[in-house]
Each structure stands twice: as C-alpha cells, then as structure tokens.
Amino acid sequence: MKQFFRIAINTVMICSMAWSLVTAQTSKTHPKRATLLKTINQNFKDAGKQYKVLMSNLPQDKFPKTYFPKTGKYEFSGSGWWCSGFYPGSLLYIYQQTKDAELLKENNRILGVLEKEKFNTTTHDLGFMMYCSFGNAKDIAPKPEYKDILIQSAKSLATRFNPTVGCIKSWDSKKGDFLVIIDNMMNLELLFWATKVTGDSTYYKIAVTHANTTMKNHFRPDYSSYHVINYNSETGGVQQKKTAQGYADESAWARGQGWGLYGYTVMYRETKNPIYLEQAKNIAKFILTHPNMPADKVPYWDFNAPNIPTALRDASAASVMASALLELSGYVDKNLKKDYIKNAEAMIYSLSNTPYKATIGTNGGFLIEHCVGHIPQNTEVDVPLTYADYYFLEAMKRYKELK
C-alpha cells in the first residue's frame, strides 16, 4: 500500500507542476463587491452554456461524475452514486439565476430518474442525493410530490442510525465495524427538515446525537478532523481513527475540513446551540490561518501534502468552504463576518478565473477544473467534479444574497 501511495504521489507531482506555475500567477487580490457581482452574473450565464454541453453528452438514465480532458471521455454513474443529486441541484441553481427553461426541463427529467433512491437504505448520502436535488426543487421549482419524496428519504437515512454508537453509519464494512466519515455531517440537514414538516422529533434527535458524537471523536485539539472513525458497533467505542482520502491518518484532508465547517454551520442554524457555532468558528480558524493555505485561497488537496507547494489544489474544497463561510458570516460578530466574507470572496474570485474556471465548450461541460477526488486510490485526480460546480454555484448564490 505504501509503495502504491508513493507511485500515486509521484504521478500527481508530475501532472500538477505545469498548472501550479500558472496558479502562482493568479492575482492575490480580489475586486470590489460590485465587480465580483458582475463576474458572478457572468459565471451563471457561462454555467448555463456549460451545462447544455453536459446535457447533450449525458446518457438517458445516467448522472455525470467527471470528465477526463486528456482523453475526452466522461465517467457517468447510476442514480445510487453519492453524487447523483448534484447535477439536478446545479441545474436548479443556474435556472434560478438565468430563468433558462431548458435547464428546468432537464432537471425535471433527471429527478424522475433519481426519485427511486428515496427508498435506498444502503447509503448515508441521501442528504447529498435527495436534499441537494429535491430539497432545492421544493424551493426553486416546487411540486406537491417533493414533500413525500423527501420525507421517505429521511426515513431511509434514519434506518442507518445506531443509538449505541450515536451515529449514522457511513460505509458498510465487516461485522463489528461501524464506519463514520466527516462527510456525513452534510446529510443531517435533510433530517432537520423532516422534523419541521412532520413534527416527528426523531429525525432532529438523530441529527443532534450524530453531530455531538462526531464533535467528540472526529476532531483533534487544533480542530482539524480525521476523515474516518471506526466505532465498535456493539459497544460504541472508538476502534480506529484514520484518513482514507487524505495523505495520512494524522493529516488534514482539505475537503474533509470543508465538510466539517459546512456541517457545523448548518447545526447552528438549525438548533441555535452555541456549541455548534464555536465548533464552526474553530474549524474556520484552522482552515483560514493554516500556514499551508495558498494566497489564492484554493487549498492543496491535503493541508499536509508532502509535495507542497507543487501539490495539487482541490477546487471542490474551496467551493465547499466558500459556501460555508458565507453562511457562517451571518452568525458572528462584525470582525469575523468581515474576515469570513473576505476569504469567501477570494475563493470565489479565484474559482472564477484561470486555471479553475473552464473555457466555454471545454471541460466536458463542467464549470470548474482541477479537483481532487481520491489520490490514495488514484481516482478522480485533477479533474472536474459535480460537487465542485454545485457548491461554487451555491456560494455565488449566497454571495448575491448578502445584505
């Protein structure tokens, strides 16, 4: 495994050096709000053009995963893949800003393919899959049936909760193991919504219990997080702490830090419990003051990657962080608000320019380039990813809505 990892790292170093030199040329400043808003409006228009390219290449019952610029080939998935909700969610965000009916029509079509996943009890990712899609649809282009679809999705997600462990299981594994990943914080929003519309507090209690257990066991003293905690399914005890998609068990995998920041921001929004606000603020401090955070605010794929400064950047992590920071800025004092917005602006500005924003007609129709999925397994390395587009669009939407 170590030998494989060294090979993967060497491969990454070679493919990253060329464009990292370009990144170094990126402006270290960002424009005033009026100028950035103009850029954002153009980004939404460009996103509409890009997603029509993506639509034209998408098989009837498939969802986009990624695209490989060097070969010109796509990778698609079925509706059960954890990223299936991001494509319709992105279509909805673009439609909301551009009112392009063609995008809404495509969203309605693909939601019909996705709907059956409301009964899926084999995944913890129903928040990503169903709330980023049907959850957005109920607000942007509502239909009466969306409520029942989302309630059933919450019921399915709740089946994976183990009260002894105090968490929702992420990955199925061998008997006795109970694997929970930091990403799972992103699926709790669906449960909070379910309690609001049904009056059943079970969903709320599951979300809070999961967040509390995660806060206790996933985070280090500096508020960086592990990726995976392996609990004993019978006793609830911690058996192992590791980082599967990052550089090493004790490293800070960048997107994982973003998931935690976003997740605890949502926890504060939904509960108003100050412990979650403090957690989110501490995670933000770790991210924004880390000595390895680049000047353009697009993080390396892992804050402890061994080949910094030539290590690959992860634009998807920046997208998640920017969106989370903009929401978090609404819950803090004036100084922190200013700091969070300033950093989010820098992230949005960087993602709006070379080398991260794709030229129209390229990148397979995806909007954002240079994302990192899973370097240790050498999959989805330095490619576009659906969730990078989704959270970038969300971040821009949130920035436009700032008072």
Q: Is 255 annotated as a binding residue?
A: yes
Chain-centroid distance, C-alpha 276 = 19
Query: Closest by alpha carbon to 360, among 58, 98, 50?
Result: 50
In whole angstroms, give the CA distance from residue 237 to residue 131. 31
The torsion angle over the Cα atoms of residues 285, 287, 293 and 297, rounded to 10 degrees, is -100
Residue at token pair 């449960």: 191
Confirm if 140 and 118 have CB atoms less than 8 A apart: no
Q: Of 46, 172, 183, 333, which is the active-site residue?
A: 183
- The answer to whether 19 is a known ligand-binding residue is no
Q: Is 61 annotated as a binding residue?
A: no
Q: Is 100 marked active-site?
A: no
DSSP string, 255-303: HHHHHHHHHHHHHHHHH--HHHHHHHHHHHHHHHH-TTS-TTS--BSBT
Rounded Cα distance between 372 and 380, Å, is: 6
How are beta strands 228-232 and 177-181 bridged, if at all? antiparallel
- Alpha-carbon distance of 26 to 355, in angstroms, equals 8
3-class state of residue 230 by DSSP: strand
Q: Crossing angle of helices 33-56/101-114, nearest 10°?
A: 60
User: Binding site annotation covers 109?
Assistant: no
**R_g over Cα of the chain:** 20
Is residue 125 annotated as part of the catalytic site, yes or no? Answer: yes
- Residue 186 is classified by DSSP as G
Structure tokens at 386: 């659906």
CB 321 within 8 A of CB 261: yes
Is 302 within any annotated ligand binding site? no
**Helix or strand run (H / E) with residue 168:** strand 167-168
Sort strands 63-68 and 167-168 into parallel, antiparallel or unpaired.
unpaired
Considering the candidates 46, 61, 125, 296, report the single residue annotated as catalytic: 125
Is the preceding peptide bond at 355 cis, omega within 30 degrees of 0?
A: yes
Would you say the C-alpha torsion 347, 67, 257, 202 has a positive or negative sign? positive
Determine contact, residues 388/371, Cβ cutoff 8 Å: yes
Binding residues for substrate: 125, 183, 243, 255, 259
Residues marked as binding? 125, 183, 243, 255, 259
Q: What are the residue numbers of the active site?
A: 125, 183
